């Protein structure tokens, strides 16, 4: 005889399937109930067993997993006659899905009906049939893009939701998740709110022996973090149970009230993980079609989950309607979750549960992402300082690490600094730093010139002439730079007040108004004589007033830069490659070429590349690059590109 859903033999196991919290949280609730109960057999009897004791098997073996632990706990409570109390307390604490109530109802006797045995039948049109390879591929693509959104509020309180990447630096979530960080009158972020908001990726159930948080990657948000948003409608008042259907004003719930927010992160995780493409018309849902949906979410701050359910229909004013409803399971914390169809195309941003007058859930509600996509203008803008380059634009050679160097370049571009001093030994990437710089800065907008340390010499006038010529200019016939002999002042005053302004004016004219980057190469090989030419260079580096358009990249510098203000200088100290450099490169290449590679396989390749690099201690960067190009590039190339 089969076991039905209300069969007492299966009840503890079935209840365990509805638990939506960690084992530690469940233990707190279980032990709290046991302490409220009288001792076994009344006063003077034995104390009741606590969770860690009751979940041991008859042979004292610990439970193999959470499901077995919860099953044994429910079975123990049933044996002692307080199962209903435990279930009630779990429901009050929102650690048990409310559908568990159906399991507690007495089983109804089945009516005898005439049946006909058939070999097969399609009982659920929406569920259909699933290609396991396509399903596994879809999950692998979606999971890395989902994040837990955390807002820390005053008084130690917090609010959480779910979000997902839609751009290299942008996450989409529900507006009501971040509403507590907004001014209630202006609906703009309150001062310093960026310090209270963060997102976490890879908060997923662990492998054996690991914590669920073992591989979590957290990102803060930038100060101006709210890129775009749209509030929910005033009638969509949220409670712990959900939104009341009796209060919802359907006509007002339109495209001006889409309950979404786009957050800008301090970093570009979308380059590593890929992004969720907001839908085209082909991904749209249609009223009356029985369509299966998946909702990716972090219910109750739990590690990432997804739930399957059926699309019910649309709700709200406007055309198309501004809400869709579905039957996939969700909980507090699921707001902002990603709804996808069977092809893993985005169709909705989960919003909330809709309840009737008695508080019973009747549907879950989401915002069609097609409507959100039509409202976005700034969501996909890139802040280059937060978006490190991982291959050269011209040759496609790998750029491993060097994120700090790239950030330094952007600080100079923005005028925050004037000089980057790259320090390190040969073959660590000194010359490659200049190539990275050229790849980062568009030639149409920037002039980059190189001068070798052995060309600097001693004479300031000769160096000035060389600088001007490298910038594409020349002294007109009969003209010269101001001569020190005719200056009638001290050498320092002549250099500062006559030579430097004259050179800066001529260079700016030759560069046609472009910013000018002077790259001084081979400073590790040649010492620059301590004479007027060196003093002119140092003066130019510090000339924020006379030469504000000039920047300097010093490759292989060994000494300090006397006379240049310390706050003008960015130091960049080179090191040999580390595993994080290789891992980030492989991950970004896979994402760019739409190649699936799981974490374990990527880790094996990282180890192999590092081993190959360390075979030549004096040339590790080049060995790593050579191995990547020869062995990893072929298996991570775009289809059709070899």
CB atoms within 10 A of CB 21: 22
C-alpha separations of 33 from 42, 94, 228 in Å: 16, 15, 46
Q: What is the pTM of this model?
A: 0.63
Helices 66-79 and 83-92: angle between axes, nearest 10 degrees: 130
110: in domain: no
Q: Residue 111 pLDDT more than 70?
A: no
pLDDT of 5? 41
124: in domain: no
Q: Which residues lie below 8 Å from residue 173, measured CB to CB, with a gap of 6+?
A: 149, 161, 162, 163, 164, 260, 261, 263, 335, 336, 349
For residues 442 and 552, state if they share a domain.
yes
pLDDT of 218? 93
Domain region containing 503: 420-559
398: in domain: no
Q: Which residues lie below 8 Å from residue 220, measured CB to CB, with a gap of 6+?
A: 194, 197, 198, 265, 266
For residues 583 and 548, state if they share a domain.
no
> What are the helix (H) ranges across 447-573?
460-470, 491-494, 500-510, 532-541
pLDDT of 122? 52
pLDDT of 409? 92
The Cα–Cα gap between 478 and 475 comes to 8
566: in domain: no
For residues 82 and 167, state if they share a domain.
no
Q: Which of 502, 524, 559 is the last residue of a domain?
A: 559
Tokens of 281: 């018309």
547: in domain: yes
Tokens of 500: 């430097």
Q: Name the nearest CA neighbour of 299 among 324, 328, 340.
A: 328
Rounded to the nearest angstrom, the gap between the alpha carbon of residue 204 and the centroid of all alpha carbons in its chain is 14
For residues 190 and 52, state if they share a domain.
no
Q: Name the nearest CA neighbour of 342 among 638, 592, 124, 593.
A: 124
Q: Which of 528, 559, 590 is the last residue of a domain?
A: 559
What is the per-residue pLDDT across 238-291, written as a single tens digit (0 to 9) for each? Answer: 766 678 887 888 878 888 889 999 999 998 898 888 888 887 554 567 777 778
Helices 23-36 and 83-92: angle between axes, nearest 10 degrees: 130
For residues 430 and 522, state if they share a domain.
yes
The Cα–Cα gap between 534 and 451 comes to 13
51: in domain: yes
For residues 583 and 547, state if they share a domain.
no
Residue 495, H or E segment: none
4: in domain: no
How much is the average pLDDT of 333-343? Answer: 92
CB burial string 179-204: b at 16+ within 10 A, e below: bbbbeeeeeebeeebbebbbbbbbbb
Strands 419-423 and 550-555: parallel
> What are the helix (H) ranges across 130-211?
132-142, 175-178
Helix then strand then coil, in percent of the chain rounded to 5, is 35, 20, 45
For residues 290 and 319, state if they share a domain.
yes
569-573, strands of its sheet edge to edge? 447-452, 516-521, 550-555, 419-423, 569-573
Q: Residue 3 pLDDT more than 60?
A: no
For residues 251 and 181, state if they share a domain.
yes
How much is the average pLDDT of 115-129? Answer: 55
For residues 530 and 591, state if they share a domain.
no
Domain count, the chain: 4
Q: How confident is the model at residue 542 (pLDDT cuts 50, 70, 90)?
A: very high
Residues 250-253: contacts with CB within 8 Å, 24+ apart? 250/315, 250/316, 250/317, 251/317, 252/317, 253/315, 253/316, 253/317, 253/322, 253/323
For residues 333 and 221, state if they share a domain.
yes
Query: The domain that contains 301 carries what CATH number?
Result: 2.40.10.120
Q: Residue 118 pLDDT more than 70?
A: no
What is the per-residue pLDDT across 473-511, written as a single tens digit (0 to 9) for each? Answer: 999 988 999 888 777 778 888 998 899 999 999 999 998
The CA R_g of the chain, rounded to the nearest whole Å, is 33
Q: Residue 113 pLDDT more than 50?
A: no
544: in domain: yes
Query: The domain that contains 501 carries what CATH number?
Result: 3.40.50
How much is the average pLDDT of 431-456? Answer: 91
Q: Residue 4 pLDDT more than 50?
A: no
The Cα–Cα gap between 27 and 69 comes to 10
Residue 29, H or E segment: helix 23-36
C-alpha separations of 1 from 4, 7, 10, 120 in Å: 9, 11, 13, 20
pLDDT of 287? 77
Q: Name the nearest CA neighbour of 547 among 527, 524, 517, 523.
A: 517
For residues 354 and 216, state if they share a domain.
yes
For residues 155 and 99, state if they share a domain.
no
Q: How confident is the model at residue 190 (pLDDT cuts 50, 70, 90)?
A: very high
Tokens of 329: 């399971």
- The dihedral region occupied by 344, where left means phi > 0, alpha psi between -120 and 50, and beta the remainder, is left
CB 261 within 8 A of CB 180: no
């Amino acid at each position: 005889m089969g076991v039905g859903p209300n069969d007492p033999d299966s009840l503890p196991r079935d209840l365990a399937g509805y638990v939506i919290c960690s084992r530690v949280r469940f233990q707190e609730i279980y032990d709290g109930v046991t302490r409220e109960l009288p001792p076994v057999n009344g006063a003077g009897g034995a104390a009741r067993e606590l969770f860690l004791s009751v979940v041991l098997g008859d042979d004292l073996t610990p439970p193999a997993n959470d499901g077995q632990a919860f099953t044994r706990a429910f079975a123990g409570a049933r044996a002692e006659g307080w199962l209903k109390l435990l279930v009630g307390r779990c429901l009050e604490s929102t650690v048990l899905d409310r559908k568990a109530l159906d399991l507690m109802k007495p089983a109804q006797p089945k009516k005898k009906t005439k049946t006909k045995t058939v070999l097969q039948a399609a009982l659920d049109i929406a569920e259909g049939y699933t290609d396991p390879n396509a399903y596994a591929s879809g999950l692998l693509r979606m999971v890395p893009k989902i994040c837990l959104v955390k807002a820390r509020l005053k008084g130690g309180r917090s609010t959480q939701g779910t979000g997902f990447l839609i751009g290299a630096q942008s996450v989409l979530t529900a507006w009501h998740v971040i509403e507590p960080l907004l001014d209630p009158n202006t609906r703009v972020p309150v001062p310093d709110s960026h310090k209270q908001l963060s997102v976490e990726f890879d908060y997923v159930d662990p492998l054996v022996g690991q914590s669920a948080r073992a591989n979590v990657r957290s990102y803060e948000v930038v100060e101006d973090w709210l890129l775009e948003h749209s509030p929910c409608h005033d009638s969509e008042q949220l409670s712990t149970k959900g939104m009341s259907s009796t209060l919802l004003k359907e006509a007002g719930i339109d495209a001006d009230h889409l309950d979404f927010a786009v957050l800008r992160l301090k970093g570009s995780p979308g380059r590593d993980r890929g992004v969720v493409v907001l839908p085209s018309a082909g991904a749209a849902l249609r009223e009356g079609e029985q369509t299966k949906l998946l909702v990716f979410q972090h219910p109750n701050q739990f590690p990432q989950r997804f739930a399957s359910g059926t699309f019910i229909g649309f709700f709200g004013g406007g055309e198309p309607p501004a809400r869709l409803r579905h039957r996939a399971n969700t909980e507090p914390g699921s707001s902002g979750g990603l709804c996808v169809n069977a092809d893993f195309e985005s169709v909705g941003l989960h919003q909330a549960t809709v309840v009737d007058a008695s508080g019973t859930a009747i549907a879950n509600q989401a915002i069609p992402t097609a409507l959100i996509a039509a409202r976005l203008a700034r969501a996909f803008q890139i802040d280059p300082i937060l978006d490190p380059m991982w291959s050269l634009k011209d040759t496609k050679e790998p750029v491993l690490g060097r994120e700090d160097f790239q950030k330094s370049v952007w600080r100079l571009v923005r005028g925050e600094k004037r000089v980057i001093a790259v320090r390190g030994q040969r073959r660590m990437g000194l010359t490659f730093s200049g190539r990275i710089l050229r790849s980062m800065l568009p030639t149409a907008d920037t002039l980059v010139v190189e001068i070798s340390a052995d060309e600097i010499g001693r004479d300031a006038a000769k160096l000035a002439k060389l600088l001007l010529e490298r910038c594409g200019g020349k002294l007109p016939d009969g003209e010269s730079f101001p001569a020190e002999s005719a200056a009638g002042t001290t050498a320092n005053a002549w250099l500062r007040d006559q030579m430097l302004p004259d050179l800066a004016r001529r260079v700016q004219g030759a560069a046609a108004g472009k910013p000018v980057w002077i790259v001084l190469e081979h400073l590790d090989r040649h010492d620059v004589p301590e004479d007027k030419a060196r003093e002119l260079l140092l003066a130019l580096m510090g000339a924020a007033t006379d030469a504000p358009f000039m920047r300097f990249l010093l490759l292989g510098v060994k000494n300090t830069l006397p006379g240049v203000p310390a706050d003008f200088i960015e130091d960049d100290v080179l090191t040999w490659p580390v595993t994080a450099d290789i891992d980030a490169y492989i991950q970004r290449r896979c994402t760019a070429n739409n190649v699936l590679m799981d974490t374990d396989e990527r880790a094996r390749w990282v180890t192999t590349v590092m081993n190959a690099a360390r075979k030549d201690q004096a040339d590790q960067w080049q060995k790593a690059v050579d191995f990547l190009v020869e062995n990893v590039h072929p298996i991570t190339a775009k289809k059709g590109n070899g």
